[in-house]
Structure 1
């Protein structure tokens, strides 16, 4: 339920732009719930309207001709402090937004990303309901406490039993609230990091692509070495954004049945070389271990990250113990990273190092949090572990004792018999990849970032395709209407206005047989699947890996003949 049970969602909207107000009102239709908007512009109008209980939520621009969002926030906190307050502005920088939230704002949405408006409102209303529920529970608890004295006089023995039960409830409530706060903090950081990763991937696509083009033209060795260093830095940047997306649980995984025993055995030499000869590795591998349904490449990174973390905790050598086991969890989790009840394949990595104090344990999975010296750790290793495990449907438990060591127990989903049968039924033909681009195929490249679009078009032009360009979803639809010879649409997923999912839906409606290849630096697997990106061949991640774009374009075009070596230089841009 979004709004009040008896009526629509009531919104107070502080906005001076008629156009922006219309755009926001249109976006609010995505809530799927009736909305009543009271729009104001001046300070006096806002002060008169901002009354407790009159509205369910406040949306406010940050800069107005005779008024500003900061003053509006102050009025709202004073007159209706329980009403969620969300900034919606095109000029709100990240630092200003963070400061606004510190001063009492619930959240913010930029006008360039109005697609975030619906879920931001839903989250704000949910948080308000949670606060109301908590206050009601606290009031009920206070009422109960007020009657304790009378009950002590009447039934001393019974009160002792009841009081003990009440204390247990308080402890459990506090533990649940701590878990909720940690989960909310990690979710907020995850949303921020995934947005940063998307922007970085766009930048890295332009940088890496142009480095590749320059390497073909440069002949002197000194310039080649410098370009190689730049290419290496771009690759490290891509790895960093991949770690951020892993923490945000927005990386694209390919889960398959994996034997963790074989994985551990195959990694032993790598682990020994990574942690050094002063640390002894011991393995205890259970016979009859269930296969785990996970991404094989990512679980190797998880084990390596945990081993390196253990190495750093053992400054003068020690023992690294790796164990596998079949485990059934029955108890409910008390922390967000812990597994839900069920059957799991467990792998633990334990050390004899320094252990962790409670203040470190409470933040151990936060991105960029590290206790290591500057330059010796990015603080992303355990964040990446957390993201992968939660996205895979598992959990992790940490047991640590100061001065004695730490054990990370990773719980991964087991492969059920039905899933094993499905995996066995997959034929090689289902995974076949086309290797030949189509002869004289015409490709429409849609991307709002001019630099990324230039790299994409250049690569495909050099592969022998004829290119069309569009800078938005509306331009792409216009291009398809105007040119019946387009064979494939290469579509950016995250764009202002119509995003890639909306454009793809419209294309499927008007041109059902038109293939669409998504290009994205923001690997939100659920959103991509909803948009029709079925399978890894339907998606190219930014920054491009060498040859991947060209290969997946050829696959999308199907079994057409290979074009000649002719390079298409005439590019048409739809404006």
Structure 2
């Protein structure tokens, strides 16, 4: 029997036949309990009405013109799995009925045997009620167990948690006091150094200005040499005061969106020459790196400073790793140099050197503090890094292990609302590649050998060209960034660091229509072809003979440039 209740039994009936619906409704009168039938005939109607809490029972025909009971069963099991689902069909065979039961149907009744309807519904509702009661009992038991375990755990660990909290508060207070003392010390030193740097700059302005006036007045070589020495000392003093201003966060910065991947890639030659060939340089650059809002010139000095410090920490050889990444900081800083919570562009410089002991780590950012021998370092490198990063709105973190190495992570503010930083040299610049009549074509001569470069520049200048110089592939890229309106790049093929082939590839990427002329003594035809040069007219060998350099430069400039990079090559002196 159905459990006595004042509420009528709510039935969702999926049936397209009016006659069958009336017969089934007549049979339901035998339940002896009031009922309400909501009849639907389409998928849309069934999906909209088969929801939890709306019905107590679902009766469904198996075959309908545009819908079927199997689909209805799937919808019911997904939307209201706890409601009993009974098939009532005249075409449902035994095998199909068994399969329907396996798929989640509660029972089935043939339309030829509607006299079984009452018993089937009573049994289905009873089983559903028992299932619900079991689930409620299990949930109650689980809740009781969870509560009991929680009470026991709370009572058992109450004293331990109290002690742990007390210890944590003591540690945090000591850490906060130490950070406050360090911050106050750095601020005091910063105020002192900024005042000293300001006064020194005034003095150096007077000294340098009067040296310049004297250089115009004196004529003997001895006096000129002495004035040159004085001017060099004044320039070194100016660089020193610039470092002091950087630490005290008083330097003038020009923050712009900077792609740090491009910065690191363009500095590779400079870094390798600065730290020596014995140190292996590795880079790990995140491909979708955010652009950083920083001063582009200063970040290069920061990376160079960190690389030189890393080199000095490694006795012989070693590995220097430069990494970039997008980082989100969530925790509060525990030291003054660490970043506040937020999103940053991170660049790190790691070494395999000696690491730092705790007493050095405490003072590492103080100006003039150094562990190097007298005359080996000013103690301003990391102080300058600290000042620049904090003035830019970022932070620093140092991870170091004695005997294993040090990693210095610099966190810089990201440009909000801008996508991945793109290469700085890809902006199209409108330049007329073929010089106008009577104008001087502009050339960029790139050669690491100063004497060879002087010969090349002199010959091309005498041929009527406006010539600029670069001593490496990196310097060439910097020169083209400053002025991309160059008619021809005359590029040495064999150079240390970034060789001519690598430089040409980078030029092709940034300035696709820039013509390049290789000057090389490397006669390997295969190497020249791989670099993009081919054909006898594309190669001029060094030493230059019979005006060949001048003729091929003129020919390269005269030919209209097609989209893409035309690689025309000369031959440089073999080393």
Band the TM-score falls in, shorter-chain normalisation: 0.3 to 0.5
Greater relative contact order, per chain length (Cα 8 Å cut-off, separation 6+): 1
Output the TM-score relative to the length of structure 1: 0.46
Output the TM-score relative to the length of structure 2: 0.46
Radius of gyration: which is bigger? 2
